[in-house]
Amino acid sequence: MTKIHIESLQKQYGQQIALDIDQLNIEQGQLVGIVGNNGAGKTTLFRLLLDLIEPTKGSVLINEKPVAGNNHWKPHTGSYLDEGFLIDFLKPEEFFHFTGDLYGMTPKAIDERLELFSRFMSDEILGQKKYIRQFSTGNKQKVGIIAAMLVQPELLILDEPFNFLDPTSQILIKRMLKQENEARHTTMLISSHNLNHITEICTRIILLEKGKIIKDLTPESGDMKEIEQYFSVNAE
Amino acid sequence: MFYTLLRHGWLSFVRAHYFERSLGIKLLFGFVIFISLWYLFMIGLALPNLLENLFPEQYPHEAFFSLLLFVYGSELLARLFFQKVPRQRAINYLHLPVKKSFLARYTLIRSWFSGYNFFLLVFLVPFFMRTLYGPVSPEAFRNALLGCFLLSALNHSVGMVIKTRTAWKPSTLLAAGLLIAGLILAGYFFLEQLMAFSGQLGLALMKGNMWVFAGLVAVIGFLQLTIVQGLVKSFYTLSDQSAKSTEASLSGSFMEKLLAKVPVYGIFWELEWKLITRNKRARNNFYQWPLMLPILVYLFVYSPGEAFASMTPILMLFLGSYGINHLQFAFSWESRFFDLLATQNMSLQLFIRAKYFFYSLMALLQFFILLPFILWLNPDVFPLFTGLLLFAIGPAFCLLFFSGVSNSTRIDPNGKSFFNLEGTSGRLFISVLSIFFTLVPVYIVAWLLPMETMMGFSLAAGVTGLLFIIFNKQWVQAITNRFERTKYRNLNKYREK
């Protein structure tokens, strides 16, 4: 069971406010899409959620306990933001086993779990005799996403997971996220520039602009046109 | 376009992140270059007197000319190991509407400005000024200088031809190996003839022999043309990442499997082992330490005796060499993936402790290899070596971890091995230097102890080291806490590319 509560969270770089959220609650099992243009604060929000940067003020609570300076959230959180989440001198198999081992999974359980991702990997990841640094950007992205999902986390955070993936892989990853969310009630936070992907799978969409939440809605509420309009107006 | 590329090259140098970071490192770097060039200049001034004493029957310039081939042979060797081919700079332009042959010519011309082509002049100008300009003639001075510069250009061309070859066939490598071995043997068996030939070559250059100059220019010109062709071909390799895919064939070595089986720390030891064996810079660091062994053997063949106090810092440095070499960049080695480590279900304290035990074991391994030599050559120094080993594993490693927390520079463990300033800083320099000063209290205790000073020192160093080893859990925890406090700043810096 994973609930996130954000209270008066602010991140400032010099005079520039990168993120400023008064209050945000994310309930167990929600699949939340974070959208916004470049510099909206999506990655900053994720880094604050993962205690990778220090908030200027406010706090993030996971299951009512603060994230900052604590480790209680780590055993049930999986994440992939960028290549800083990969150990590039390992082969993918070694990386998956390293991650799984840290989460107490047996080698057999890791291999069984990896089989579920076999279509997503499409014979390009395992058994390649290559280090991660030698893979294409798209395949590195796949390795990172699989490692994050491998440990069956209660909370999954993915930054731009559809980037660099081919169309088939994009469809597969959407399907896997949806299945995982429905089967295990995994709380998921996913950012993307692609509205279609987000509206297709997310049960809640948060629109960020210059660090502030300006829309918080559900696709069912029929407000999606507002978001589409927001992006098209900004493009004009 | 040529000017634009040159300007980009200059900007990439002055805007390199290790230059941007610290004024201290800039000053230090400048100082080291200045001192090196100053020494070279002074050697050039002083060498004529030395040669006069060594070879009284010859003029100094004649004596130098007889060594010319060896000087330039060594220069070529240095180039082969250290000189970089600046072709990597071309990679960002390959997709632009710029001809590959233009980029190849640019890369070649850029390489002419390499310091390797000019540094010997700092020595040669004062040397020839003293031996040729006045004593022989200004023409001889000019000819000799130009001739030596052409020899540098020849070395540059040979080095570039070798380095721009995209792949070497095993048969070519074998032939090259045999050629080098043959040259070394020839140098050994025909030393006098080689020296005589070298002397004749030098004199021919000094006298401005047109045939020798023309021959050199022709060979250099031919090689330069070959380099352009080699560079164009090498650009294809640069842009073809799959060409590197054979690198990972060394899968699941015995050592990796063995380390993985170690309970609790095994997972981190295996990771550490892979880090040091699969990344160029870390690997080179690792393979350096067996080279320390002969130096250590040398150090105790000449027993430290009464002069031991001046040798102990160096001895300690060598005894803990691998750990000290590696741990000076503690945490920066992992800087590229520290975001991952910071979010994983793992204890940072366990991670640091695993690292500490790993490098302590490496130091012990190094010591056990050395032990038979110590006992055979000079058993009297055994207590001193043991005490200093314990001191290296204890306070020295602790200090390096402690300063590692403050070193938030990002480094690429797979970056180049030599002259790589990534991760260095004035602060790092001071912290490594401070390891030597930790021995001062040990000297004081040794002098106070009612026994022979060297034995007292060995005892004091050993006991201090043991105390740090016994209480490693406590100081590792303190370092963990310190890292947790500076975590955000460090992670932020680690992300800066």
Report the residue from A69, A104, A130 with minimal CB separation from B248: A130
Sheet of A212-217: strand order equals A77-80, A155-159, A187-191, A31-35, A204-209, A212-217
Residue B460 CA neighbour count, 13 Å, CB half: 21
Residue B462's pLDDT band, with cuts at 50, 70 and 90, is: very high
Q: SS3 letters for A86-107?
A: CCCCCCHHHHHHHHHHHCCCCH
Comparing B75 with B469, the larger pLDDT belongs to B469
What pLDDT shows up at residue B299?
A: 66
CB pair distance less than 8 Å for A52 and B488: yes
Contact A79 B343 (CB under 8 A): yes
What six digits make up the tokens of B198? 């070298």
Alpha carbon distance A155, A61 (integer Å): 13
Does the CB of B332 have a partner CB in chain A at under 8 Å?
A: no
The answer to whether residue B420 sits within a structural domain is yes
Sheet (strand A16-26) strand order: A16-26, A4-13, A57-62, A65-66
Residues of A in contact with B274 (CB under 8 A): 89-90, 94
* Nearest residue to A174 (alpha-carbon basis) of A139, A209, A199: A199
Tell whether the model's pLDDT for residue B250 goes beyond 50.
no
Contact yes or no for B297/B370 (Cβ under 8 A): yes
User: Band of the pLDDT at A97, cuts 50, 70, 90?
Assistant: very high
- Per CB-CB distance under 8 Å, the chain B contacts of A151 are 345
Instruction: Name the average pLDDT for chain A.
Output: 90
- The number of distinct structural domains making up chain B is 2
Q: Are residues B132 and B262 in the same domain?
A: no
- The C-alpha atoms of residue B408 and residue B481 are separated, in whole angstroms, by 16
Q: Which of the residue ranges A112-116, B158-162, B237-241, B401-405 would you say has the lowest mean pLDDT?
A: B237-241
Do B486 and B410 contact (CB within 8 A), yes or no? Answer: no
**B261 at the A interface (CB within 8 A)?**
no
- In what helix (H) or strand (E) does residue B440 lie, and over which residues does it extend? helix B440-448
CA distance B425 to B40: 26
Candidates A133, A139, A155: best to mutate against B (most CBs of B within 10 A) is A133
- B231 with B374, same domain: the answer is no
Last residue of a domain, one of B198, B218, B242: B242
How far is Cα A43 from Cα A39, in angstroms, rounded to an integer? 9
Closest residue, chain B, to A131 (C-alpha): B248
- Smallest CA–CA distance, residue B472 to chain A, in Å, is 23
The whole-angstrom separation of Cα B14 and Cα A133 is 27
Going by C-alpha positions, the residue among B435, B304, B293 that lies closest to residue B382 is B304
Q: Å from B217 to nearest chain A CA?
A: 42
pLDDT of residue B242: 43
Closest-CA residue of A relative to B276 is: A89
Residue B295 and residue B201 share a domain = no
pLDDT tens, position by position, B272-314:
999 988 888 888 777 776 666 677 666 666 655 556 667 788 8
Digit-coded pLDDT (tens) for A175-216: 999 999 999 999 999 998 888 888 889 989 999 999 999 988
The residue ranking higher by pLDDT, B115 or A160, is A160
How many CB pairs lie under 8 A apart between chains A and B? 88
Choose the final residue of a domain: B242, B269, B285.
B242
Rg for chain A, CA atoms, rounded: 18
Alpha-carbon gap: A175 to the closest alpha carbon of chain B (Å): 25
Q: In the prediction, which pLDDT does B287 show?
A: 74
- Which among B242, B345, B488 has CB closest to A54? B488
- Interface predicted TM-score (ipTM): 0.89
Interface test with B, best of A89, A130, A156 (most B CBs within 10 A): A89
- The verdict on B221 and B163 lying in the same domain is yes
Q: Is residue B247 part of a domain?
A: no
Q: Are B390 and B442 members of one domain?
A: yes
pLDDT at B241: 47
- What whole-number percentage of chain B has pLDDT above 90? 33
Separation CA B227–CA B163 (nearest Å): 9
Would you place residue B416 in the very low, low, confident or very high pLDDT band (cuts 50, 70, 90)? confident
Q: Show the tokens assigned to B11.
A: 């900007």
DSSP output for chain A: ---EEEEEEEEEETTEEEEEEEEEEE-TT-EEEEE-STTSSHHHHHHHHTTSS--SEEEEEETTEE-TT--TTGGGEEEE-SGGGS-TTS-HHHHHHHHHHHTT--HHHHHHHHHTTHHHHTTSSTT----GGGS-HHHHHHHHHHHHHHT--SEEEEESTTTT--HHHHHHHHHHHHHHHHHH--EEEEE-S-HHHHHHH-SEEEEEETTEEEEEE-GGGTTHHHHHHHHHHHH-
pLDDT digits (tens, 9 = 90+) for B9-62: 777 777 766 665 566 667 777 787 888 889 889 989 998 998 888 888 889 999
In a domain, B219, yes or no: yes
What value does the mean pLDDT take over residues B320-330?
85
The neighbour count for residue B340, using CB atoms within 10 Å, is 24
In terms of pLDDT, which residue wins out, B304 or A31? A31
Cα B181 to the center of its chain, rounded Å: 24
Residue A224 has pLDDT above 60, yes or no: yes
CB contact under 8 A, B241 and A136: yes
- On whether the CB atoms of residues B410 and B495 are closer than 8 A, the answer is yes
Reference B154, options B213, B91, B82, B240; nearest CA is: B213
Cβ distance of A86 and B267 shorter than 8 Å: no
Quote the CA–CA distance of B343 and A86 in Å, as a whole number: 12
**Mapping DSSP to helix (H, G, I), strand (E, B) and coil, where does residue B382 land?**
helix
**Residue B205: strand, helix, or coil:** helix
Question: Which among B247, B340, B495 has the least Cβ separation from residue A134?
Answer: B247
Chain B contact set for A93 (CB, 8 A): none
Among B340, B342, B414, select the one facing A89 at the smallest CB separation.
B414
Q: Which residues contact B341 (CB under 8 A, 6 or more apart)?
A: B334, B348, B351
What confidence tens digit (pLDDT) does each residue in A157-181 have?
999 999 999 999 999 999 999 999 9
B133: which DSSP letter?
I
What are the chain B neighbours of A103 within 8 Å (beta carbons)?
Answer: 344-345
> Distance between CA A79 and CA A229 in Å, rounded?
31
Identify whether B79 is part of a domain. yes
Contact B251 A131 (CB under 8 A): no
Amino acid A59: pLDDT: 94
pLDDT at A193: 83
Polymer length in residues for chain B: 497
Domain-embedded: residue B249: no
Q: Is the pLDDT of residue B247 over 70?
A: no
**pLDDT class for B249, splitting at 50, 70, 90?**
very low
Helix (H, G, I), strand (E, B) or coil at B98: coil
**Cα-flanking dihedrals φ and ψ of residue B427, to 5°?**
-65, -40
Min distance A134 CA to chain B CA atoms (Å): 7
User: Which among A50, A94, A128 has CB closest to B343?
Assistant: A50
Give just the sign of the alpha carbon dihedral B464, B469, B473, B479.
positive
A residues 33-72 closer than 8 Å to B (CB): 50-54, 69, 71
Cβ contact B342–A133 (<8 Å): no
Q: Distance, in angstroms, between A221 CA and closest chain B CA?
A: 35
Kindly state whether residues B218 and B311 are assigned to the same domain.
no
The reply to whether B230 and B91 lie within a common domain is yes
Q: Which residues pair with A213 in a beta bridge?
A: A208
Q: Same domain for B280 and B146?
A: no
Read off the pLDDT of each residue in A211-233 and give the average, rounded to a whole number: 76
* B278–A134 C-beta distance less than 8 A: no
Give me the mean pLDDT over the B113-132 stretch: 90
A220 to chain B, minimum CA–CA distance in Å? Answer: 34
Higher pLDDT, B495 or A96: A96
Is the same domain home to B163 and B281?
no
Among B242, B278, B345, select the one facing A131 at the smallest CB separation: B278
Cβ–Cβ contact A94 with B under 8 A: yes
* Domain C-terminal end among B221, B242, B263: B242
pTM: 0.76
Question: Do B279 and B422 sit in the same domain of this protein?
Answer: yes
Place of tokens 């004596």: B63
Q: Which residue of A has its CA nearest to B243?
A: A134
Residue span of the structural domain in which B381 resides: 254-494
Average pLDDT over residues B423-450: 84
B236 & B269 share domain: no
**Do B161 and B235 belong together in one domain?**
yes
Residues 6+ apart with CB under 8 A from B376: none
Q: Is B248 within 8 Å of A129 when comparing Cβ atoms?
A: yes
Q: Which tops the pLDDT comparison, B239 or B178?
A: B178
Of B245, B345, B491, the CB nearest to A130: B245
Residue B358 has pLDDT above 60, yes or no: yes
Does B279 reach chain A within 8 Å, measured CB to CB? yes
In a domain, B289, yes or no: yes
Verify whether the Cβ–Cβ distance B340 to A94 is below 8 Å. no
Please say whether the beta carbons of B204 and B215 come within 8 A. Answer: no
Q: Is A186 at the interface with chain B, CB within 8 A? A: no
